[in-house]
Amino acid sequence: MSTPLKVAVLGFWHVHAKDYAKQAVEHPGTELVAVWDDDPALGQPGAEHFGVEYTDDLDALLARDDLDAVTITTGTDVHRDIMVKAAQAGKHIFTEKVLAPTVAEAEEIIAAADANNVKLVVSLPRLAHGYTQAIRDVIASGELGELTYGRVRLSHDGAIPRDGKEGWLPQRFFDPKAAIGGALTDLGCHPIYLLQLFLGAAPETLNATYRSVAGRGLEDNAVVTVGYPDQRIGVIEAGFASPNPFTIEVFGTNGSLSYTDEGNVLRVSGKQLPVPDHSLDPFGQWVDHITNDTRADDNLARAVELTRLVVAANESAATGQVVAYEGKEIG
């Protein structure tokens, strides 16, 4: 294994490809050495931006002895094929969410990584944010009493035309084949894994409503409601159609909390609490797992449950029906 770790970007399909490439450049334990994409129009500009080699030959790249790891930011539909191939080549994997289009494919990817001692981490960055830990601490303290309701909303206006131009989010994000789903499948992942963290990953019912404000092919406005056996309710909101602040609300029988990123403000039953700094981000965690030969157990469990809920939400939206849900608790 090289020191620093030599990393290649696989795919410039996703808008976060450049972000993860930048992390590979800036992290002291990694070095960006190459970019692969089967579409030169995406891959070549990315490689040129970072001053590294571009190739459209994935097999040759993965066969290189001097390559240790890859970041994967391709279309979601090819995650399984590319990640299994990378794992079988012994390359450690950092990937954009969601892990895969189906739970079966997600589990197949994880199995391939485990079989080849490959360290796999899915980018779930808000788990490492300071407000997340603060909210977990409040819930664990019992101050809110028995939890009854939780809501997490995240949206941006990437689908909305401005000044006579199409919205800034690329049209490929509305391709049903490559993207699998729209706002819920992409941006909605963050509210999903946070709600699963706060209320639990095993509701018994799920109901999704999707709408398209901009009419670009997939939903840009989504709400998912989940019901738990103990009668608590969770609401997940995501959109590409409005520049709303990121918000979290949790209610219990004895109190409530709210968080907004407008001013980074956390209030518990009307009292403002300090928000701690973020902890180590997922990319840094990935490098540590590679260096220390450890497995990202919690991250992978959450990645599977995130996939499970996305699949169920897409089914509910497509059928217009409430679906029964069988998730697995984590931890």
What is the 3-state secondary structure of the chain?
A: CCCCEEEEEECCCCCCHHHHHHHHHHCCCEEEEEEECCCHHHHHHHHHHHCCEEECCHHHHHCCCCCCEEEECCCHHHHHHHHHHHHHCCCEEEECCCCCCCHHHHHHHHHHHHHCCCCEEECCHHHHCHHHHHHHHHHHHCCCCCEEEEEEEEECCCCCCECCECCCCCHHHHCHHHHCCCCCCCCCHHHHHHHHHHHCCCCCEEEEEEECCCCCCCCCEEEEEEECCCCCEEEEEEECCCCCCCEEEEEECCCEEEEECCCCEEEECCEEECCCCCCCCHHHHHHHHHHHCCCCHHHHHHHHHHHHHHHHHHHHHHHCCCEECCCCCCC
In degrees and rounded to multiples of 5, residue 227 shows phi and psi of: -115, 135
- pLDDT-derived band at 314 (thresholds 50, 70, 90) equals very high
Contact status, residue 46 vs residue 17, Cβ threshold 8 Å: yes
In tens, the pLDDT along 155-171 reads 999 999 998 889 999 99
- pLDDT-derived band at 331 (thresholds 50, 70, 90) equals confident
CA distance 110 to 310: 18
pLDDT in the model for residue 173: 96
In tens, the pLDDT along 79-107 reads 999 999 999 999 999 999 999 999 999 99
**How many CB atoms are closer than 10 A to CB 222?**
29
pLDDT in the model for residue 52: 98
Q: What's the N-to-C CA distance of the chain in angstroms? A: 31
- pLDDT-derived band at 142 (thresholds 50, 70, 90) equals very high
**How many CB atoms are closer than 10 A to CB 323?**
15
Tokens of 89: 């080549």
Average pLDDT, the chain: 97
CA distance 232 to 140: 16
Of all residues in the chain, the percent with pLDDT exceeding 70 is: 100
CA distance 130 to 5: 28
pLDDT in the model for residue 96: 97
Residue 302 has pLDDT above 90, yes or no: yes
Q: Report how far Cα 315 is from the mean position of its chain's Cα atoms.
A: 19
Reported pTM: 0.97
In tens, the pLDDT along 32-44 reads 999 999 999 999 9
- pLDDT-derived band at 325 (thresholds 50, 70, 90) equals very high
pLDDT in the model for residue 2: 83
pLDDT in the model for residue 76: 96
CA distance 45 to 6: 20
- pLDDT-derived band at 226 (thresholds 50, 70, 90) equals very high
Domains and CATH numbers, the chain: 5-118 (3.40.50.720), 126-281+308-324 (3.30.360.10)
What residues pair up with 265 in beta bridges, in sequence order?
260
In tens, the pLDDT along 253-300 reads 999 999 999 999 999 999 999 999 999 999 999 999 999 999 999 999
In tens, the pLDDT along 43-66 reads 999 999 999 999 999 999 999 999
